[in-house]
Amino acid sequence: LFTWRLVYHSYAPRIVFSKHIQKSLNEKLDARYIISFQNMGKRTFFNGELNVSLFLKEKDRSNSPWQEIPIPVNQSGELKTKVARVEPQEETQNSEKPKITFDIRFLTPNESNLSLEEMLTPEGYIKASFSGYDMVTGSRKTFTSKKYKIHDIS
């Protein structure tokens, strides 16, 4: 039992997402949004997949169901992006964190060009998830970010 706990929990990979969504503008003044993540565990992840979703409710109906809208995470409009490896990092290292970059303009017609801030209702939120395989055990693990609200965009 001790060995199982050590192998599968204590020395397992652990993905930690950033506390905020970073907003940046490109040369065309289009907004890009970035969520950073890193492996704070003890082992490497491989064959990972990242995705981001926007969760909204209808404004006038508080008892309406949540609508999940997948957000494309690259310029080609794909809903998932592959990550070959995510190595473990110590909390004290200042190395570059892997990032999910997404562009909300794929979700709206070209004429409207709504920003993410304009699309998010007060109850709405964004969630990122990462699924991958533990390098030692081969087990598949999924990690989900916190619910990013409108005040989490900086």
pLDDT digits (tens, 9 = 90+) for 91-144: 435 556 666 666 555 555 455 566 777 777 778 899 999 999 988 888 898 999
Is-contact 99 36, C-beta < 8 A? yes
Residue 62 pLDDT: 64
**Tokens representing 123?**
């109850």
Q: Which of 3-17, 54-68, 86-100 has the lowest mean pLDDT?
A: 86-100
> 36: which DSSP letter?
E
Q: Within 10 A of 63 (CB to CB), how many other CB atoms are there?
A: 6
pTM above 0.85, yes or no: no
- Euclidean distance between CA atoms 135 and 123, whole angstroms: 38
Q: What is the mean pLDDT of residues 30-52?
A: 84
Residue 93 pLDDT: 55
- Euclidean distance between CA atoms 43 and 46, whole angstroms: 10
H or E element at residue 45: strand 45-56
Residue 71 pLDDT: 83
- Euclidean distance between CA atoms 138 and 51, whole angstroms: 21
Is-contact 127 55, C-beta < 8 A? yes
